[in-house]
């Protein structure tokens, strides 16, 4: 029954939305994701998305990809609401989401150059 529901949902959404839900395995998870993306109250509230985006933090390097994907999804939702962020703000959000071990080797203004990396 769950597979049938997933199939029905997948065939009735746009390609862009399908990219967001393709990794989810259950119909419940898909509907939860769609509700968060299109819920009238939350999608209209830019402050909600900003707070959610700034709260995303990777605790280690293995979580970085998932956190970056979540940030990209939020930026896409905000873009559809005509609330576009500037490039520096996007860089700041990404930088702050990285684990401290990675932030020690990256500086967002590109002035600081690290010549030797010891891990």
Predicted confidence band of residue 64 (pLDDT cuts 50, 70, 90): very high
Predicted confidence band of residue 19 (pLDDT cuts 50, 70, 90): confident
Lowest mean pLDDT among 14-18, 43-47, 52-56: 43-47
Q: What is the pLDDT of residues 76-90, one digit of tens each?
A: 888 887 888 888 899
Query: What integer is the mean pLDDT of 8-25?
Result: 82
Dihedral of the CA atoms 17, 19, 20, 26 (nearest 10)? 100
> Smallest Cα–Cα separation from 34: which of 58, 54, 10?
10
**Res. 71: pLDDT tops 60:** yes
Quick one: which H or E segment has residue 75? helix 64-80
Radius of gyration for the alpha carbons in the chain, expressed in angstroms and rounded: 17
Quick one: DSSP state of residue 105? T
> Which pLDDT value is given to residue 119?
47
**Res. 117: pLDDT tops 70:** no
Segments making up each domain of the chain, as ranges? 1-38, 40-119
């Amino acid at each position: 029954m769950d597979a049938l529901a997933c199939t029905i949902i997948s065939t009735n959404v746009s390609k862009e939305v399908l990219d967001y839900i393709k990794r989810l395995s259950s119909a419940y998870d898909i509907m939860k994701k769609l509700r968060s993306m299109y819920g009238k109250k939350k999608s209209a509230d830019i402050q909600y998305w900003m707070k959610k985006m700034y709260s995303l933090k990777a605790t280690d390097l293995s979580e970085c990809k998932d956190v970056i994907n979540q940030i990209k999804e939020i930026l896409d939702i905000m873009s559809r609401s005509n609330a576009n962020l500037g490039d520096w703000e996007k860089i700041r959000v990404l930088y702050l989401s990285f684990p401290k071990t990675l932030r020690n080797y990256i500086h967002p203004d590109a002035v600081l150059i690290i010549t030797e990396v010891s891990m």
